[in-house]
Structure 1
């Protein structure tokens, strides 16, 4: 009784603290790009969409209908589901292994970073996790005795999962394999009530299947074929390290041990324990193998989460076999992991802290700059003629601006990102894919940092082909240019003639974050199609400290820039400048460029940190 009471007190205290912290962060955290697109889908209600079944979009619409167009309102349904998840895990575990084990499993769900941060973002993983736990719990109950209530719980889980994500097919497959593995499971599959539950689950996929039948399997092709190379690559080897970090090392080891025992038939004699272990084992090892062949460019560390939730139901019994010191270390590391992950999201939600990450590979670009961009767009539209339309260059910019400006119908140009993320078919269906032709003035918003740097000039050249010659842009640098947008005021009629692109430049030396003396040399290159570059000035903290000089040819650059540059000075585009920073104190400063084109236009290039000694 003392163990149970202590476990319950810890669970409730940590659950309340984590829930309050997540609500505070969710109210401040800028909208992630996928969330913005789900909001846009929610503004175009449908049974299914090109990238997902309908539930995520429906939940975002519910949140904003009740609470208005605020990030917290949009995320509120997901926060509620995420808050329910630890209770479901605790309930399912307690039914078989005792109340103390149940509270411990619920606490692990709160602390494990992958599950503990659910709900901060309005993503389909939240309802899918709830669905996975419902199905796992229902399956365990059905192993004991097939009854209508357990079959109804299974049906509910299957319906929620089927309306959440294509990936839930994997959860269903893992569950069926686990049942077939166990003698009790094979007997269970002969019960009519189980098949009724499965039929309800199959019916939940009907809207998605109908969408794919109507639109030539565009969604299925993207999820199963287009986004995956389906060729061996070595990045899958990172799986264990990434998962150990995201689940915390000792807890991940405990789940692996439970998985192996489940496969070997070891562990407690209860078939439910082995059932939970098998669910996690098949899922974890399956994703490990899949990682060597599937998409490795986008975030996928959260894919094994449904399997981990099943393993968390089995782990408390395993931990009782460990020495006290190892148990305490497991709980301690899980707590540290939860604090670090919540701390990361808190840092991302604070503009000053987020700006300090500029120039770092961990800079959270998909969260950053949208409110600042929206404010600059509002100001620019006020200066432009009445009737000027707003045009975005990719789905990210269109969706984020749409949320900030309350407009879910911002047209978007054809862009590689739209296809890479499976959003192009949906934009076409909404008639929001724009061909660049126009009969009224337009404000074109271009995300310069949304394109690989080597392809940036080629992207500008593609914009020229779509919309015609580009006027000098208004540059919006956010967090020292770590997020960079260009605003083009396009005339009503497409002009003819050569197209002058924005500047593309780079500082070769010093490197990002380098320590430099008070007198140091800056070298790099800058190109601008058609007009060329007239002057390059070096800035420190936004103040001009030197004017660069011609440093000769850069033959390598022609091969680096995709499709090449039409700068009239090519390849003589290298520059060098001597900087005297003796007036600046020692410490971290921001080194940048101010570039004047041959057409008189002036652009502030992105800054990078250097440390003055």
Structure 2
């Protein structure tokens, strides 16, 4: 009884603390771009969409109806599901392995980073995880004896999963494999009540099947074919490195012990042990194998979660058989992983912390800059004629601005990014893909940071073809320019003429993060198609330090064959700056590019280090 009380107290304390932290972070964290698009879908309610079934959008709509058009309101239903999940896992583990193991399984669900952070983002993985756990619970109960309550729970889990994501098909396949391996599972599948539950689950797929039938299977083709390379890539091996970090190493070992136990035979409660182990093992191994051929970037992160939840139910039994020091190490490592996961989201939610991450690999670009951008858009619209509409460069900008401006009908330019994320078909159904025609003034908003730099000039020229020459932009620069936006005031009537693009530039020196001496040598190039560059002004930490000498001959047309800057090849610049007055530490070199059309464009800054003298 003392052990049970202690395990229960630990669970309640952890649940309260984790839930409170998730609420605080969720209220501060800007919307991730996918969340913003789900919000946009929630403002165009439908049974299914191009990228997902309908449930995620329905939950998002419920959240904003309850909590208002605020990030916390949008995330409320997902936070509620995330808070409920550890209780479900605890209840399942208690039924089969005892109260102590049950509370411990719930606590581990609250500590494992992948499951602990579930619900902070309004994404389909949240209801899908709930569906997987409901099916797990129902399947374990049906293995013992078939009854109506367990069949109803199975039907509910299958329906929620079908309404959550295409990927739930994998959960269903893995469950069938596990049941077919177990004698109790084969016996269970002969009961008509189970087949009625399965039939209900099949019916839940009809809205998604209907959408695909009406739209040339666009969603199915994207999920199964277009988003994956379907060619062998050794990068799939990163799964073996990333996943133990995401679930913490000792907990990972314990889960694999459960998976191995699932291959052994036994009776009684052992059937449930094998069931959880088989579900987890088949799921995780399948995703590992698929990682060599599919979208490894996304699979390596969160796809294995349903399998991990199955293994987690029996993990306390394994841990309690280990030496005390190893158990404690496992719990502390899980707690450390949780703290690191929350720490990242906390940093992403704080503008000053995001600024410090600028220039590093883990800079949270998809969370950054949306509120300042919305402020700039509102400011520009006040100076434009009534009826001016916003035109976004891609679906990310359109959805994020839509949430900030409470406008779910912002038009979007055709963009490869829309296709890559499976959103073009849906935008087309909403009549939000801009065809290049306009009858009123428009404020075009571009996000150069979303484009690979080597493809950026071609993208600018493609935009010229769509909307005409681009006027001087207003630059909205965040976090030293690592998230930049360009705002263009387009007149009601399209102007024909040579393509004028935003400026392009590159710093050959200093290199990013370079340590400098008493002087800082600056070398680079800059051009602006259609008009050319007038001058390049330099800044250190936001303070002007003079102009670079612009116009040195440096032919870059081999790399930028389509460039039409009239000053080629005289597009290079040089400068030498005195750094003796700078304090030791990290500093930022900035540039402002002045075009001959009167444009003034702030460029992305470059970090350099002044050593202690």
Change over 3 Å in CA distance of 1:205–1:383 after alignment to 2? same
Change over 3 Å in CA distance of 1:559–1:263 after alignment to 2? farther
Q: Structure 2: how far apart are the matches of 1:413 and 1:205?
A: 31
Q: How far off is 1:440 after superposition?
A: 1.1
- Residue-by-residue CA offset, 1:530-588 (whole Å, 9 max, x unaligned): 21222122210122224222574545x43444x53222233442222111122322222
Change over 3 Å in CA distance of 1:7–1:454 after alignment to 2? same
Q: Structure 1: how far apart are the matches of 2:553 and 2:264?
A: 66
Matches within 5 A, 1:272-311: 272-298=272-298, 300-311=300-311
- Residue-by-residue CA offset, 1:85-131 (whole Å, 9 max, x unaligned): 00000000100000100101100100000000001000000010011
Q: Structure 2: how far apart are the matches of 1:240 and 1:256?
A: 13
Say whether residues 1:606 and 2:604 are aligned partners.
yes
Say whether residues 1:363 and 2:372 are aligned partners.
no
**SS in structure 2 of the partner of residue 433 of structure 1:** coil
Q: Structure 2: how far apart are the matches of 1:113 and 1:343?
A: 11
Q: Structure 2: how far apart are the matches of 1:353 and 1:204?
A: 43
Q: How far off is 1:300 after superposition?
A: 4.4
Change over 3 Å in CA distance of 1:239–1:558 after alignment to 2? farther
Q: Structure 2: how far apart are the matches of 1:472 and 1:173?
A: 55
Q: Name 1:257's counterpart in structure 2.
A: 257
**SS in structure 1 of the partner of residue 489 of structure 2:** strand
**C-alpha contact (below 8 Å) 1:539/1:546 kept by paired residues:** yes
1:568 to 551, 566, 569: 566
Q: Structure 2: how far apart are the matches of 1:543 and 1:267?
A: 75
**SS in structure 2 of the partner of residue 363 of structure 1:** coil
**SS in structure 1 of the partner of residue 345 of structure 2:** helix
- Residue-by-residue CA offset, 1:442-485 (whole Å, 9 max, x unaligned): 10001111111111111111110000011010011011111100
Q: Structure 1: how far apart are the matches of 2:73 and 2:558?
A: 49
Matches within 5 A, 1:460-539: 460-539=460-539
Q: How far off is 1:269 after superposition?
A: 6.5
Q: Structure 1: how far apart are the matches of 2:68 and 2:558?
A: 50
Of 14-23 and 451-460, deviating more is 451-460
Q: Structure 1: how far apart are the matches of 2:309 and 2:551?
A: 59
Matches within 5 A, 1:267-346: 270-298=270-298, 300-346=300-346
Q: Name 1:202's counterpart in structure 2.
A: 202
Say whether residues 1:75 and 2:75 are aligned partners.
yes
Of 589-598 and 96-105, deviating more is 589-598
- CA RMSD, Structure 1 to Structure 2 (Å): 1.5
Q: Name 1:171's counterpart in structure 2.
A: 171
**SS in structure 1 of the partner of residue 164 of structure 2:** coil
- Residue-by-residue CA offset, 1:200-251 (whole Å, 9 max, x unaligned): 1101100000000000000000000000111101110000111011111111
Change over 3 Å in CA distance of 1:184–1:553 after alignment to 2? farther
Q: How far off is 1:183 after superposition?
A: 1.0
Matches within 5 A, 1:541-552: 541-550=541-550, 552=552
- Residue-by-residue CA offset, 1:5-62 (whole Å, 9 max, x unaligned): 1111101100100000000110000011111100100000000000000000000000
- Residue-by-residue CA offset, 1:127-172 (whole Å, 9 max, x unaligned): 1001100101110111010111111111110011010000000000
Matches within 5 A, 1:386-425: 386-425=386-425
Q: Name 2:589's counterpart in structure 1.
A: 591
Q: How far off is 1:391 after superposition?
A: 0.7
**C-alpha contact (below 8 Å) 2:261/2:273 kept by paired residues:** no
**SS in structure 2 of the partner of residue 301 of structure 1:** helix
Q: Name 1:348's counterpart in structure 2.
A: 348
**SS in structure 1 of the partner of residue 338 of structure 2:** helix
Q: Structure 1: how far apart are the matches of 2:109 and 2:53?
A: 26
Q: How far off is 1:266 after superposition?
A: 8.4
**C-alpha contact (below 8 Å) 1:96/1:272 kept by paired residues:** yes
**SS in structure 1 of the partner of residue 481 of structure 2:** coil
Q: Name 1:10's counterpart in structure 2.
A: 10
**SS in structure 1 of the partner of residue 230 of structure 2:** coil
Q: Structure 1: how far apart are the matches of 2:297 and 2:562?
A: 26
Q: Structure 1: how far apart are the matches of 2:213 and 2:392?
A: 30
**SS in structure 2 of the partner of residue 263 of structure 1:** coil
**C-alpha contact (below 8 Å) 1:162/1:204 kept by paired residues:** yes
Q: How far off is 1:320 after superposition?
A: 1.6
**C-alpha contact (below 8 Å) 1:545/1:580 kept by paired residues:** no
Q: How far off is 1:298 after superposition?
A: 4.3
Change over 3 Å in CA distance of 1:163–1:354 after alignment to 2? same
**C-alpha contact (below 8 Å) 1:551/1:576 kept by paired residues:** no
Q: Structure 1: how far apart are the matches of 2:411 and 2:237?
A: 41
Q: How far off is 1:335 after superposition?
A: 0.3
**SS in structure 2 of the partner of residue 484 of structure 1:** strand
**C-alpha contact (below 8 Å) 1:393/1:412 kept by paired residues:** yes
Q: TM-score, normalised by structure 2?
A: 0.97
Q: TM-score, normalised by structure 1?
A: 0.97
Q: Name 2:215's counterpart in structure 1.
A: 215
Any unmatched runs of 5+ in structure 1?
A: none
**C-alpha contact (below 8 Å) 2:264/2:274 kept by paired residues:** no
Q: How far off is 1:267 after superposition?
A: 11
Q: Structure 1: how far apart are the matches of 2:265 and 2:346?
A: 43
Q: Structure 1: how far apart are the matches of 2:262 and 2:571?
A: 64
Q: Name 1:577's counterpart in structure 2.
A: 575
**SS in structure 1 of the partner of residue 538 of structure 2:** strand
**C-alpha contact (below 8 Å) 1:267/1:274 kept by paired residues:** no
Q: Structure 1: how far apart are the matches of 2:492 and 2:434?
A: 15
**C-alpha contact (below 8 Å) 2:242/2:300 kept by paired residues:** no
**C-alpha contact (below 8 Å) 2:398/2:412 kept by paired residues:** yes
Q: Structure 2: how far apart are the matches of 1:515 and 1:260?
A: 52
**C-alpha contact (below 8 Å) 1:261/1:267 kept by paired residues:** no
Q: Name 1:147's counterpart in structure 2.
A: 147
**SS in structure 1 of the partner of residue 590 of structure 2:** strand
Q: How far off is 1:252 after superposition?
A: 1.1
Q: Name 1:106's counterpart in structure 2.
A: 106
